[in-house]
Structures are given as structure tokens and as C-alpha cells.
Amino acid sequence: MPISLQTPLVQLKKVGPKYSERLKKVGLETIQDLFFYLPCRYENLTDLTPLDAILPGQKVVIQATVNDILNSRSPRKRMLITQASVNDNLQNNLRVIWFNQPFIAKILRPGHLVNLSGKVKLDNQGLFLSSPSYEIIDPIIPKPNVHTGRIIPIYHETTRLSSRYLRYLIQPLLYLTNYIPDCLPSIIKQKYKLLNLDVALKQIHFPDNLELAQQARQRLSFDEMLLIQLYYLKQKNRIKQLTAPSIPFDLETIKKFVRNLPFTLTNAQRRAAWEIFQDLQKNTPMNRLIEGDVGSGKTVVATMAALIVSQAGYQVAIMAPTAILAQQHFKELSQLLKIFKIKIGLLTSDDSQITLRFPKITRLNKKTLLNRLSKKQIQIVIGTHALIQEKVKLANPGLIIIDEQHRFGVNQRSQLIRNSCQPIPHFLSMTATPIPRSLALTIYSDLDLSLLDEMPHGRQTIITQIINDQARSATYQFVRGQIRQGRQAFVICPRIESSTDKNPPQKKSYRYSLANAPKTYRQLFCDTLLKEEEIKAVIAEYKKLSEKIFPDLKIAMLHGKLNSQEKQKIMTQFKAGKIDLLVATSVIEVGIDVPNATIMMIEGAERFGLAQLHQFRGRVGRGQHQSYCFIFTTNSNQQHNQRLKALITAKNGFELAEKDLEIRGPGQFFGASQSGLPDLAMQALSDPQIIQRARQAAQDLLNDDPQIKKYPLLKTKLEQFRIKIHWE
């Protein structure tokens, strides 16, 4: 039966039902799928070593003739042993041993010329080759080497799906790559000197040399990156076709605001504010991201934008990921704008407030607040996800601001805009998670970028130390001394590791199996269990600190299971100095500002990303006193220690992000579930040249043909990509 690219793998003689299921688990169902299951690395097995030149400990490739081969069983462990004797043209002999692979004796026969690749070991009988890869060589009808004597591909393996099997499966089918449509226009391939798709697929699986393997990977990475850039540049162009209110720049209002600030704006803040003011004056929607380090002053810049828009007669919505952060923004904007007659509302799931002028606060029920919003009687509304409820209607929205924008999915952001009236409001987002500029330009390519790469004058450097078990007791004594001097401390607990970290729990009731539940419900169940694990960690740490370490101190705990009122009460007491030490989960990563808190202790630091650790550290160092960050770790892994040391040496969040990318690579930097990027695109993020070329190619294509009608294959591929990619 003839085969094609879409032939199911189960129909191949080398597969069958058992292997078909194993392949399906890694996403391989058709022959075409196989070609895009790419090697993760290569082994260079091209150089043959003579038998008289091998040494113990070497990994070698030899070519020899099988003298004899037989199976036996070891007397002690009853292990099946396959032992062969081989010799070369000079009649040098060598033992070869395989363990628990008796079938090899049926494959390799006396007289066979074979390539063997493995490690040389030494026992009391002399040198032997241990469990080598093998390949029969036909001297009459030469065939391409697959497993030895060449650069061989190594794939991501499972316990029942080896690289050898995948090579065995893929190599005879590679001729079919000639029939895969190449969607990349010839003009782009010529301009950037890229391989044809069929050549790239052949060379990435079985390269003639490592240089061609790299060229093949660059071609395939370029394809993915081009689709990303095309998709988001098209989004950006689409937004430019929409109409937004033109907000005039009011110089006197801004001068008045700046004069009344208790501090001086940094040059970075002035630059970002000016970029925003320029965008707001246009009648097309602003779509801008402010990216700045912890404490760089993003909120002040956003407040200036909100002030200009509200003074022009339009409403502003500010959405934060947590109620604590929303409440903090409410208080901060009320303070910053107290000299202006601006009505500011707060809306969370269980809390509604409105302020007419600071410090007077009038509590309203939700219905009254929503009514005033719809009648334009509130100029600025601050809230959480509650803002995207259908009942929330802004009468005349001019600007939407989203804090920590990576915590909101695309659908949530769109819902906030859909709940607004026409014309489309301007959009401003903020993030305090610095990432390298090359990544930002890729991931946020539909957004204009403003960087706050300068810290406010007088901000102290936080002394950061990595604490092992031996130094723990002395560190606790230091913390007690600081608290006795009137300071306060945070303790952050990681989630307790469990099997649910990687695999959804298969918990059954008598009628219902979670394994058969929709993905959304499985994820919800797993998230609930993970939150429970975090809470257990906090409770355990709280008991240890309050009963054994610091029984003389006032200690409280904060975690995600507490409702908004409980969280707010604890934070109010902490800010008022009524709590010495606060034990918390990552709920305090953003939105906590307690100037008197000078100590941050992070337990199990190796379980957090560097960016998250940097966020935690940024919760202290906000007052006049010297602050400290103590990183507790029991992990001696060299890469973990390298990462944590980077936290000490990096001067700011952007430099730290570069180090994190360098150490971990982009795949781990983002995490698969966070990025939504295909593997090849993740790898391409390490190569700024590919990003730059793909972005330029996408821009050139759209300038010449905005709908990509000239290239139907590319247009179809882009539509498939749009469905596949996610950024939630």
C-alpha cells in the first residue's frame, strides 16, 4: 500500500499498535509528524578507532567482524548476558558485552561486519566494549549508516521510545520530505540564505556535518519566528485601523502634578511618560508596555497617564491581579491625585469604595458604584478581575491600564475592552518582571515598549546572602536583633513538591474519573491541590518559627486561602508595626509596600525562578534603613547555585534576566505552559540574529502585501499557527 505524509504511523510495518500508542503520547501520529520531532542533540560517531589503540574509559567507534556470539545467564543476579568476540583486519580481538538484550544474538551472526559504538571498560579478563550501539555493514551493497559511523541524532526519549528506534523509523522515510510544501517565499530564502525545507529536514535528522545541522535548525527556527512576527505585526496593524479618542497633552496639569510629588522623577520615568503622552494624542489606540524593575516607579508614570485622560473628560480603568495590589493602587492614586478633584473607585469581588478627595473615603455597595460608573460619575476605577464582569460598563472609557499584564490572559484583556463603548480606549500595561529586550520585542511584538531602566535616587542596595543549613542559626539571631531594633521581616515559603507538580492526579469518585474530565476541570483540580500544598508549607513554617525559633515575636501568616478582608487586616496590622514577622506564600510577590520591612527570608529558594526571587527581594529596601535578603537553600546542585549567585552579582532585574536566560535557556526561562511558544521558537529566542531577521522579513512582507495574498501557502500556515499558539 502506498504511503504519504498523512499515513498514520500505526500502518507502518515498524510500528504496530503497541508502538503507535507510545508515539501518540509524544504527539506523533502521522509520518509528517515524525519529521518535525527534532533531535535535541547529536553524537559525532564518524571517527573509527583501531582495536589496538583503544583505552579504558574511552567512548569509541570501531569496525570489526563478529567471530562468535552467545547468550548466558550470570550466576549471581541471574542477568542475561550477550557476549561476542570481534576482530579487525589485523586480527586484534575484543570482547563485546550486552546486558538483558538476548535478541542481539539473533541479529548479529558470525561473519557479520559491524560498526560498534560504546564505552571501553576493563575487568580481570581485560578490555571489553560495554553495551554498544551496533550496525551491520554490507560491503557489497553499501547503505547509509544510521546508528554508527556518522553524526547521529539523539531525541528526547521515554523509557519505551529510544533514539535508536526513532532513527530506525525516520531514516527510510526521509525521501517523503520532498513532498512537504515549503511555505517560505523564495525571495526570503534567497535574501537570508536559508535552506529549502526538504533539505533542512533531512539535514536536521541525519546531517552530513554539524554545520549543516546548525543551518537546518536555523531554517526551521526562522519559520516559527516569522509566523510569530507576522501574527503580532498583523495584530498591531489591525489595531492601527481602529479609532481611539485623541487626548490632548495638558502641560500645566502635569507640571502641577510633578511639583507636588515628594520625590524627583527619574529620566527614565520622564521619557516613558512623554512616549505615552505622544501616543495618547493620536486617534489610533495606544498599545504600550511599561517594563521596569521592582521599585522603578511604573505606578507614577501610569498615574500621570490616568490624570491626563481623566482631565480630558474620559474614564480610566486600572486592573490588578490581586485584591491587595488593587487596594494599594487605590490608596496610592488617592494620595498622588489628592490635589485634583478626581473621583476614584475601587471594585473587587467583595469590596467597593469610592473617594471624592483624599483622605475622605465613602463606602458604597456594588450596585451604586456600578451605576455611577455607567453615568460617568467616577473618573478612575481600580479593580481586579471583577472589572471584566458583564455588569461593569464604563460610559466614556479613554484608557485601560493593566498591572502585571502577564498574569492576565489575552481573553481577559479583550473582555475588558469589549465591555467598553466605542471608540476603542487606549491600552497601557505594566510588568515588573524584566526580560531581555530581544525577548520582549518578540513576545510583546504587538506592543510598543517603554523601559524604566533607572532606579529612583537614594534607593539602597539590598544586601543579599545565600544561607546554608550551617549558617541558619546565626541568621535567625541576626533577624531577631534587627526586629528588636524596630524592623520587620517577611518569610516566603515555596510549594511543597508533590506528584501533582508534573502529572494531574487521577483521583476517582464512584461515578466520575478525573482522567476523563475536560482539561479545564483537571487543571482547576490540580491548581487547588497545589494551593493546598503552599498553605501546608506556610502553616508548617509558621508553627516552627512561632513555637521554636521566635516564640517571643509577633508572627502572622498570609496565604491564598484567606479572603480579601482577612488578607487586608493582616497587611494593615503589618504596615502598622503590630506584626514583627509575616510568613507568606508567593501571594506577596507583587503589590506589598511596607517601608519598615527590611528583611526578606526565602525558604527553598531553588524552587523559584530568578525573576520571582528578584520580585520577593524588591518587597524590602523601600525605606531609610539598610535591608537584607537571605536565600535559604539545601540544594547543592551546581546549576542551582550558579543561578542563586547571579541574584547576588546582577546589578538590576534586566541584567539578572540576561543571566537567567544564559544559564537556563529560554525554554526554562519561560516555562512551556507560560509561553505558548513552539520548541523551535523557544530555541530561536537565544539567537537575536534570527529574531531580527524574522522581524524584518515579516515587516517587508506585510508592507508589500498586508493580507499575504501573494503567498497562499504562507497565509494558510499563518492561520494554522494562529489557532495553535497561546499566551495565556
Write the CATH number for 605.
Answer: 3.40.50.300
Among 71-85, 414-428, 477-491, which is the least confidently predicted range?
A: 414-428
- Residue 397's domain comprises 251-281+297-431
- Cβ-proximal residues to 473 (8 Å cutoff; 6+ apart), any chain: none
pLDDT in tens, 219-267: 998 998 899 889 888 888 887 788 899 999 999 999 999 999 988 999 9
Q: Inform me whether the pLDDT recorded for 529 exceeds 60.
A: no
Grid coordinates of 356: 471624592
Average pLDDT over residues 410-418: 50
Average pLDDT over residues 595-600: 92
Query: Is there a single domain that holds both residue 174 and residue 227?
Result: no
Average per-residue pLDDT for the chain: 82
CA 122, 124, 125 angle in degrees (round to 5)?
85
Average pLDDT over residues 620-640: 80
- High-pLDDT (> 70) share of the chain, %: 81
Furthest CA-CA distance within the chain: 98
Q: Between the ranges 178-182, 428-432, 451-455, 682-686, where is the mean pLDDT highest? A: 178-182
Among 271-280, 348-357, 488-497, 537-546, which is the least confidently predicted range?
A: 348-357
Last residue of a domain, one of 129, 149, 169: 149
As a whole number of angstroms, the distance between CA 290 and CA 684 comes to 24
Query: Is there a single domain that holds both residue 303 and residue 398?
Result: yes
Q: In what order do the strands lie in the sheet with 628-632?
A: 463-467, 628-632, 597-602, 488-492, 581-584, 555-558
Average pLDDT over residues 181-207: 95
Grid coordinates of 468: 546554608
Please report, for the domain that includes residue 132, its CATH number.
2.40.50.140
Grid coordinates of 312: 480630558
As a whole number of angstroms, the distance between CA 116 and CA 61 comes to 6
As a whole number of angstroms, the distance between CA 663 and CA 642 comes to 8
Q: Which residues lie across from 95 on neighbouring strands?
A: 85, 128
Tell me what pLDDT residue 387 has: 81
Query: Is there a single domain that holds both residue 24 and residue 168?
Result: yes
Query: Is there a single domain that holds both residue 647 and residue 683?
Result: no
Tell me what pLDDT residue 601 has: 95
- Cβ-proximal residues to 94 (8 Å cutoff; 6+ apart), any chain: 51, 54, 62, 64, 85, 86, 87, 127, 128, 129
CA 140, 145, 147 angle in degrees (round to 5)?
135
The DSSP 8-state label assigned to residue 174 in this structure reads G
Query: Is there a single domain that holds both residue 128 and residue 170?
Result: no
Specify the amino acid at residue 399.
L
Asked whether residue 67 is domain-assigned, the answer is: yes
Q: Which residues lie across from 360 on neighbouring strands?
A: 357
Asked whether residue 61 is domain-assigned, the answer is: yes
Query: Is there a single domain that holds both residue 347 and residue 268?
Result: yes
| Closest residue by Cα to residue 257 from 333, 359, 180 | 333
Q: Inform me whether the pLDDT recorded for 468 exceeds 80.
A: yes
| Band of residue 193 on the pLDDT scale cut at 50, 70, 90 | very high
Q: Which residues lie across from 65 on neighbouring strands?
A: 87, 113
Tally the domains of the chain: 5
Query: Is there a single domain that holds both residue 166 and residue 313?
Result: no
Query: Is there a single domain that holds both residue 220 and residue 264?
Result: no
The DSSP 8-state label assigned to residue 547 in this structure reads I
Grid coordinates of 508: 476517582
Q: Inform me whether the pLDDT recorded for 419 exceeds 80.
A: no
As a whole number of angstroms, the distance between CA 421 and CA 468 comes to 56
Query: Is there a single domain that holds both residue 640 and residue 688?
Result: no
Grid coordinates of 121: 571498560
Average pLDDT over residues 544-573: 87
| Band of residue 669 on the pLDDT scale cut at 50, 70, 90 | very low
Grid coordinates of 556: 502572622
As a whole number of angstroms, the distance between CA 373 and CA 391 comes to 10
Query: Is there a single domain that holds both residue 257 and residue 352?
Result: yes
299: left (phi over 0), alpha (psi -120 to 50) or beta: alpha
| Band of residue 141 on the pLDDT scale cut at 50, 70, 90 | confident
Grid coordinates of 400: 485601560
- Cβ-proximal residues to 656 (8 Å cutoff; 6+ apart), any chain: 434, 610, 611, 614, 646, 647, 650
pLDDT in tens, 371-399: 888 888 899 999 887 787 768 888 889 99
Average pLDDT over residues 328-356: 81
- SS3 for 497? coil
Residue 340 · residue 363 · CB < 8 Å: no
As a whole number of angstroms, the distance between CA 583 and CA 557 comes to 5
Residue tagged 547509509 (cell numbers): 144
- Cβ-proximal residues to 638 (8 Å cutoff; 6+ apart), any chain: none
Average pLDDT over residues 196-212: 95
Residue 416 · residue 427 · CB < 8 Å: no
- SS3 for 317? strand
Q: Inform me whether the pLDDT recorded for 276 exceeds 90.
A: yes
Q: Inform me whether the pLDDT recorded for 467 exceeds 80.
A: yes
Residue 581 · residue 488 · CB < 8 Å: yes
As a whole number of angstroms, the distance between CA 614 and CA 650 comes to 10
The values of phi and psi at residue 706, to 5°, are -55, -30
457 vs 287, more confident = 287
Asked whether residue 334 is domain-assigned, the answer is: yes
Helix-strand-coil split of the chain, %, nearest 5: 45, 20, 35
Q: Inform me whether the pLDDT recorded for 591 exceeds 80.
A: no
As a whole number of angstroms, the distance between CA 298 and CA 437 comes to 17
Tell me what pLDDT residue 592 has: 66
- SS3 for 465? strand
Asked whether residue 572 is domain-assigned, the answer is: yes
Query: Is there a single domain that holds both residue 579 and residue 591?
Result: yes
As a whole number of angstroms, the distance between CA 537 and CA 8 comes to 47
Q: Inform me whether the pLDDT recorded for 417 exceeds 60.
A: no
Asked whether residue 516 is domain-assigned, the answer is: no
Residue 571 · residue 592 · CB < 8 Å: yes
Is pTM beyond 0.85? Reply is no
Query: Is there a single domain that holds both residue 242 and residue 195?
Result: yes
- Cβ-proximal residues to 496 (8 Å cutoff; 6+ apart), any chain: 533, 534, 536, 537
Are β-strands 555-558 and 628-632 bridged in parallel, bridged antiparallel, or unpaired? unpaired
| Closest residue by Cα to residue 188 from 224, 222, 234 | 222
Average pLDDT over residues 643-671: 66
Cα distances from 249 to residues 246, 253, 256, 297, 318, in angstroms, run 10, 9, 13, 21, 20
| Band of residue 356 on the pLDDT scale cut at 50, 70, 90 | low
Last residue of a domain, one of 611, 632, 651: 651
As a whole number of angstroms, the distance between CA 422 and CA 397 comes to 8
- SS3 for 499? helix
Last residue of a domain, one of 616, 651, 686: 651
